[in-house]
Structures are given as structure tokens and as C-alpha cells.
Structure 1
Amino acid sequence: MSQYQQGLRGEQIADEYLKSQGFVVVEQRFRSRHGEIDLIAKKNRTLYFVEVKYRPQSRLGSGLAGITPGKRQHLLDAARAYIAKKPQQWKLAYLEVTRAGVLFREDVLHEN
């Protein structure tokens, strides 16, 4: 399986997980001139901009460590571009898919 296909698989697992937790996924792979947001989901009138990291092998380390300051800034800028069109309360979140399961952490990256 290619890296791209693994990423899509991780996003599919993340999508299913979020829905099982009461989120409504409103957009996938949102692109702006600042970058891409993997999933945008909504729960209790709050939008969550979700960065998905798929780790099929635990030896690859934490996906959160792979979010560099530059990547974090691109995520924030892309989220702000989306919010500029549809103002509302929002949070950035992180979701890691591994063989052991799914780790969802909100408020890790930023909150407005």
C-alpha cells in the first residue's frame, strides 16, 4: 500500500471514529492556499479541524511529533481561511490511528 493510500485509509478510519463519537464530518481534505485540512467535523455547534496521522507500525513514533511548527501554522492559516467564510466557534484537533486504536486529542494545537 502506498503512503498516499495509507493516508486515505487513516482518514477513513478517523471519519468512522468521529461519527461513532457523535461528530458530523462536514468536509474532507479541505484545501486553501495555506494547505490542507484532513477532516472538518462538527459537534455541539463547534467545528473541529482535524489533522489525521496514520501509524500502521508503532515503531514510527507519535504522529503528533510529526506536526512541525510550520505545519501547525499552515493548519491554523487554513482553518482561519475556512472560518472567514463561515464564522463560528472552532478548535484544532489531532487524531492518530495506530494498530492499537485511535487517539483523539482536542485542544492540542490551538483553540480560538
Structure 2
Amino acid sequence: MPRWRSRTRAERRLAAEQQGHRGEALAGLLLQMKFYRLRARRFKTPVGEIDLIAEKRGAIIFVEVKSRGHQGSEAEALGAVNSARIVRAAQYWLARHPAESGKDMRFDVIFLAPGRWPRHLINAFSAS
């Protein structure tokens, strides 16, 4: 009987990246259905990456998407959010878009898990 080959580290990383792309696409659709205007996806900076940047009612929203392969607790996923990295990346984005610096900004998190509706946590953490 042939043995099943276990996935290599590179294969697991690729699968996780693909799951992340699907999750970000789903989160983007969710935001658009809630009448947010998407400004950027996967915005890369020297200090980190922002999954989604959106705008609604004159506020700039920086969104972190947390996809889980299982139904884990949202508190655990929120604890995995590196808020300092996201805030630094948001400051970098604002420096590159000075016309937007006068607008309100906030940091949201969207949780995704199989078999559950996406959960949008508005103003999940502050910049301070």
C-alpha cells in the first residue's frame, strides 16, 4: 500500500497564502455589500502589510482579515493581530496620501471561519 506523502513546509505556506487571498476577497465583498469603498488590497509597506483599506462616510478604515481553518475563538484570533505593525503601516499609507490625513481613521478586523458568517469587528483597536 503506498504511503501518503505529507505536505512540505513550502506547500503548507502556499496553501495558507491561498486561503488568505480567498479570505481577503470575501472580506472585500462583505465590505462592498455594506457600502464601503475599497481603496486598496494587500497594501505592502516596509513596516508591514495592510489587508484592506476602505472608506465610508469620509473615514479611512484599515482592515485586518483573520481567516481560520477551524472554528477557533475570536479572542485568540484578535490576540494574534499585531496592532502596532498595522498602525505603523497605516501611518506610512497616510504619509503617502497627504490629502487623506485630515480624515477620521479606524482599525477594523474581519474574522472568517468555515461554517460561520463573517464577523466584522468595527474599531477593534486604537492607534495609540
Please give the TM-score of this superposition, normalised by the length of structure 1: 0.88
2:125 is the counterpart of 1:109 = yes
CA contact (8 A) 1:95 1:103 kept: yes
Within-5 A mapping of 1:25-44: 25-44=38-57
In structure 2, distance between residues paired with 1:80 and 1:49: 11
Uncovered stretches (5+) of structure 1, i.e. residues with no partner: none
Task: Give yes or no for contact 2:20–2:67 (8 Å, CA) kept in 1.
Answer: yes
Bigger Rg, which one: 2
SS in structure 2 of the partner of residue 101 of structure 1 = coil
TM-score normalized by structure 2?
0.78
Q: Secondary structure at the match of 2:54?
A: strand
Q: Deviations over 1:5-51 (max 9, x none)?
A: 00001001101000000101110011111100000011001010000
Q: Given that residues 24 and 65 in structure 2 are in contact (C-alpha distance below 8 angstroms), is that contact kept between their aligned partners in structure 1?
A: yes
Match of 2:84 among 33, 55, 73: 73
Residues 1:11 and 2:24 are matched in the alignment: yes
Deviations 1:77-109 (A, max 9, x none): 000111123212211111111221111112111
Percent identity, aligned pairs only, is: 26
**Structure 2 counterpart SS, 1:31:** strand
Q: What code does the residue aligned with 1:42 have?
A: E
* Relative contact order higher in (CA < 8 Å, ≥ 6 apart): 1
The alignment's C-alpha RMSD in Å is 1.6
Q: How far apart are residue 65 of structure 1 and its match? A: 2.3
Aligned length: 108
Structure 1 or 2: larger strand share?
A: 1
Q: What is aligned with 2:62?
A: 49
Question: Which consecutive unaligned segments of at least 5 residues does structure 2 have?
Answer: 1-13
